Amino acid sequence: MGSQANMDKMQQRQNYRNLWHTDLMRTIQNDPPYCCLSFWCGPCVSYMLRKRALYNDMSRYVCCAGYMPCSGRCGESRCPQFCLATEVVLCFGNSVASTRFLLQDEFNIQTTQCDNCIIGFMFCLQQVACIFSIVAMIVGSEEISEASQILSCLSDMVYCTVCACMQTQHKIEMDKRDGKFGPQPMTVPPMQQMSRLDQPYPSTVGYPPPAYGQPTYPPPAHGQHNYPPPQAAGYPPPSGYPPAGYPPAGYQR
């Protein structure tokens, strides 16, 4: 059941419409110091970013953000700080990916084709390096062994670089979430006031305010006469209204 739910989430991520604030290619340009920190101190940065992604509420922590079969079975509720520290040290790659999935599901962020190509290249290079190492061990050739070592070093460098860029990408996204870039260019418009059917008639919602001293009426419907009727000649009565002799004699207020 858990694996099926994770597969459903992966399918849903393909339909997300929001984008990362910066892609992997521009993270070094946007925040070089943090990218260097992520490269040299990857587990520490992963710990800080996961805690920040949980809004510093460690009671919400689940191992690998709930995306692995072991999630929820590692005693996270008793000591979440220790469990998170163990996760970022022993399962560093999963910790970075779990934080990424957590942010994507929260903000409906899709992964661009460029980011997919970079991550796919990293995985493919690791697989090729692993295959070369196995072949070198079986054959015993020095040339193949040297090639496998070169590929292993290259794959490790690419892995560390991509993880550093990913963590910088996560940090920039949470800076945007926390309002560190200032006010957003687009704000949520206020809810429009609409006329409801259960309002007492006449409803003035949506009509301009009446001029001072004029009665409030809704605009006439199509095909109907305007109300009140147009003023006839002599209306309103001239000054001196009410006429003399009004009210009649004997009338008591």
For residue 128, the enclosing domain spans 2-177
Q: Percentage of the chain with pLDDT > 90?
A: 44
Report if residue 40 sits inside a domain.
Answer: yes
Q: Residue 233: pLDDT above 90?
A: no
pLDDT band at 165 (very low <50, low <70, confident <90, very high): very high
Report if residue 221 sits inside a domain.
Answer: no
- Which one has a higher pLDDT value, 128 or 186? 128
pLDDT band at 188 (very low <50, low <70, confident <90, very high): very low
pLDDT of residue 169: 96
pLDDT of residue 208: 46
Phi, psi of 18 (to 5 degrees): -80, 160
Report if residue 138 sits inside a domain.
Answer: yes
Report if residue 249 sits inside a domain.
Answer: no
**Cβ neighbours of residue 198 under 8 Å, at least 6 residues apart?**
none
Long-range CB pairs of 227-236 (<8 Å, 24+ gap) are none
Q: Residue 79: pLDDT above 60?
A: yes
Q: What would the mean pLDDT of 70-98 be, rounded to a whole number?
A: 89
**Residue that is written with structure tokens 């700080």 in the block:** 81
Report if residue 227 sits inside a domain.
Answer: no
Name the CA radius of gyration of the chain, rounded: 35
pLDDT band at 1 (very low <50, low <70, confident <90, very high): very low
Please classify residue 209 by burial: count the beta carbons closer than 10 Å to its beta carbon, then call 0-12 exposed, 13-18 middle and 19+ buried. Answer: exposed
| DSSP state string for 18-71 | B--SS-GGGHHHH-HHHHHHHHHSHHHHHHHHHHHHTTT-GGG--GGGG-STTT
How far is 6 from 104, CA to CA, in rounded Å? 13
pLDDT of residue 214: 52
Q: Residue 242: pLDDT above 50?
A: yes
Neighbours of 28 (CB within 10 A): 17
Report if residue 235 sits inside a domain.
Answer: no
Q: Residue 200: pLDDT above 60?
A: no
Q: What would the mean pLDDT of 157-166 be, rounded to a whole number?
A: 95
Report if residue 66 sits inside a domain.
Answer: yes
Q: What would the mean pLDDT of 45-72 be, rounded to a whole number?
A: 90
pTM: 0.67
**Cβ neighbours of residue 109 under 8 Å, at least 6 residues apart?**
16, 18, 19, 20, 103, 173
Split into its structural domains, the chain has a count of: 1
Report if residue 219 sits inside a domain.
Answer: no
